[in-house]
Amino acid sequence: MATRLENTLYKIKNAGHKALNIYITAGAPDIETSKRAIIEAAKAGADIIEIGMPFSDPLADGVVIQASSVQALKNKMTMRGILNMIRDLRRVMDKPLICMGYVNNLMSFGYKFGIEYNGFERFVTEGKIAGMDGLIVPDVPHEESEQMRAVSKRKNVHLIEFITPLTTEERMKATCSEANGFVYCVSNTGVTGVKELNYEQIGEVISLARNYTKVPMMVGFGIGNPEAAVQAAKYSDGVIIGSAVVKRLMDGKFDEAMELIKSVRTALDDTYHK
């Protein structure tokens, strides 16, 4: 049976649209605001919500999301709190929810001294029950994720694969042949954050990757306005926006964050809708 994420992306592509994935850090600027932002982002046009799981050393993230993680941890947002948030969200929304976080938090989830078990499997199991559709774990390369992929497949939860402008064709073949849900196409070799980029390079990588998988390609990192989203979507099936939204939320500009999402949604639809 197709998953909620697969059904969503299929319907978007079949309708001639481009998918919009919005990243929001759970717990920042505070817990209630982040929950409200997820709900309102879906109403504003997000097809998928990527829920950031705060971590003390988010190595793939730039200064904006790093600061939001610090704030969320100060607000006592925990992995258990994220699962509780997902349960609450599922009462009012049905959009796909993808959790993005780092392996230390996942492997140690629910750890109790003297008891050995797979924290990742426990989180995936409880996450699926809560209503989580997938996971993004940027600090675990494909070559080291075999057990995680097996657990995720058993639980019918998507473990999202990555490609970058530096991914070799050999590695791309191995990564993409096992991809499911969507492939996260990193637009540049740096960390997250709004940048002016030329998306032709990742476009060439995406074109090559399509030889090895039929799952949708989503471009992330650096997209901060409608114009950049339109350029990135030229080569992909959709775009991922994080820092630009999180920055506005952290600055207390909730309405501006939602307006940004609406403007990107409109630009994508006006440009690419059949």
Q: Per-domain residue ranges for the chain?
A: 4-269
- Active-site residue list: 50, 61
pLDDT for 191 equals 45
pLDDT for 60 equals 67
pLDDT mean over 165-184 = 94
The whole-model pTM stands at 0.94
For the segment 73-91, what is each residue's pLDDT rounded down to a tens digit?
999 999 999 999 999 999 9
pLDDT for 20 equals 98
Class of domain 4-269: alpha beta
pLDDT mean over 134-155 = 95
Between residues 112 and 38, which one has the greater pLDDT? Answer: 38
Residue 61 is which amino acid?
D
d(CA 252, CA 231): 28
